[in-house]
Structure 1
Amino acid sequence: MSKPSCEQVLQEVIAKVKAEFPFHAPESSICSDHCEVCTKKLLELVEMEIIGWQTRLYQGDKPNFAELNQFVKLCKNVRRALVRNGLLVK
């Protein structure tokens, strides 16, 4: 069995993030008085990264390992913030 390409892994991560992160939740459930970081802005950041990568992939651009690693790290950090703010379960 061969290892998946960076492109395949990126597509899998994007699918998982889109399924798990509350991108389309109403603002009232995303924003609260007790958040440590601005969840809305973090979700917007991840969404823009996803759109950028989907566009690049559609145009035939292939991510390298460093780019993939950077995107995964961003998603992990945002997920951690979402858990701290009570939007996701650990």
Structure 2
Amino acid sequence: MRKKPNTRTAMYQLLEVIQEHIPFGLKEADMCQGICRGCSKKMMEMLDAEVSQWRADLDNQLAEPTLADLVFMEKLARRTEKVLRRNHLVD
């Protein structure tokens, strides 16, 4: 039976999955065209800020994530992906 990862390892893994699935390199002009169903730009900025902050904190050992932090990051990433999907920015 495999041992569950600690919260630090789980956060690193979650950040990797988020960076694989969310296209952080989108230009503002691509995000803000046509009919908008939720603000892709604001969601991407918020998610990018959270990911960057957690990456820095984990790398510098400034914070130890809790299960609530992991749940928050997952929900934020899912909401962001949902908005991007509604706006036809991801498949």
Question: With structure 2 as the length reference, what TM-score do the two structures score?
Answer: 0.88
5+ residue gaps, structure 1? none
Offset from partner CA, 1:23-79 (integer Å, 9 cap, x none): 112222211121111101110100000111012112212101011111111111111
Which whole-Å CA distance do the structure 2 matches of 1:65 and 1:23 have between them?
Answer: 25
The equivalent of 1:85 in structure 2 is: 87
Q: CA RMSD in A?
A: 1.2
**Which 4+ stretches in 1 moved above 6 angstroms?**
none
Which whole-Å CA distance do the structure 2 matches of 1:25 and 1:71 have between them?
Answer: 20
Question: With structure 1 as the length reference, what TM-score do the two structures score?
Answer: 0.89
The equivalent of 2:27 in structure 1 is: 26
Paired positions, count: 89
Which whole-Å CA distance do the structure 2 matches of 1:16 and 1:46 have between them?
Answer: 13
Overall identity of the aligned pairs, in %: 26
